[in-house]
Amino acid sequence: MTEDVDRLARERLRADEAKRRSIGLGEAAKGFWWHPSPWLIAAFLVGVGTARILAGDWRGSDVWTPLAMLAVFPFFEWVVHVCVLHWRPRRVGPLTIDPLLSRKHRAHHVDPRDVPLVFIPWQTHLWLLPGLLAIGLLLFPRIALGLTFMTVVGLLGLGYEWTHYLIHSDYRPRSRLYRAVWRNHRLHHYKNEHYWFTVTTSGTADRVLGTHPDPRQVEKSPTARALHGG
């Protein structure tokens, strides 16, 4: 059984690699902006970023809050990836709880090269961005600090979308740092979906939370594409 799984995984990886062509960052960026999620996040970022500059009232908390957010973000990625994106559909009485993000992510695993599935669904932004706006304006002691929070969220969100898109594009890693990030996420898709959950960093939260094993010691999963065996 293990030999069959390994053979199938190698065949799938070779098939995907055969479809790739070498492109530069400029061409990759053109493709990136053809999708709605980057534009929605960018519009949010421009709006809150401009408001932050106009608000003034700069304090020390406008420095350590972004630093804390940067430190926490890999763990936030991990939690969302594990608990939301890899959510297993559940029946509660007559209802099936299966969020859109979870459904789209299962489809993303089936075909990692289907570019629209790489991005956060635009429908999700219809509640996510207003929710972030409410958090920033209502839950912080200063409006200016709330705007700092939202600006950093916009930067992190755009960075996440760009990194995830680039990993699944035909752009080839040219730096050691990006190659580590690229390899980490590809292990998740092509080796075993139960490990390597961080996207924008190379196993930072995974190392702390026990999901960054030696790839040589991990068997290839038969459900890396068909999550939950579906």
Q: What is the pLDDT of residue 22?
A: 75
Q: Is residue 44 part of a domain?
A: yes
Q: What is the pLDDT of residue 6?
A: 52
Q: Is residue 132 part of a domain?
A: yes
Residue 221 DSSP label: P
CA-nearest of 227, 226, 230, 222 to 191 is 222
When divided into structural domains, the chain yields a total of 1
Mean pLDDT, rounded, for 54-82: 98
Binned at pLDDT 50, 70 and 90, residue 142 comes out as: very high
4 CB contacts (<8 Å, ≥6 apart)?
none
Q: Is residue 217 part of a domain?
A: yes
Q: How many CB atoms lie within 10 A of CB 78?
A: 19
Query: Residue 121 and residue 100: Cα distance in Å, rounded?
Result: 8
Q: Is residue 51 part of a domain?
A: yes
User: In the numeric block, which tokens belong to residue 112?
Assistant: 């990692």
Strand partners, 171: 23
Q: Is residue 27 part of a domain?
A: no
Global pTM reads: 0.89
Mean pLDDT, rounded, for 131-140: 97
Quote the domain boundaries for residue 166. Answer: 2-15+37-229
Q: How high is the mean pLDDT of the chain?
A: 92
Q: What is the DSSP string of 172-221?
A: PP-SHHHHHHHHHHHHHHHT-TTS---SSSSSHHHHHHT----GGGSPPP
CA separation (Å) from 81 to 52, 106, 163, 190? 30, 11, 15, 16
Q: Is residue 109 part of a domain?
A: yes
Q: What is the pLDDT of residue 2?
A: 45
Mean pLDDT, rounded, for 145-158: 98
Q: Is residue 155 part of a domain?
A: yes
Share of the chain above pLDDT 90, in %: 83
Q: What is the pLDDT of residue 159?
A: 98
Four-point Cα dihedral 208, 113, 90, 2, nearest 10? -70
Mean pLDDT, rounded, for 185-192: 96
CA-nearest of 143, 185, 188 to 160 is 185
Q: Is residue 24 part of a domain?
A: no
Strand partners, 147: none
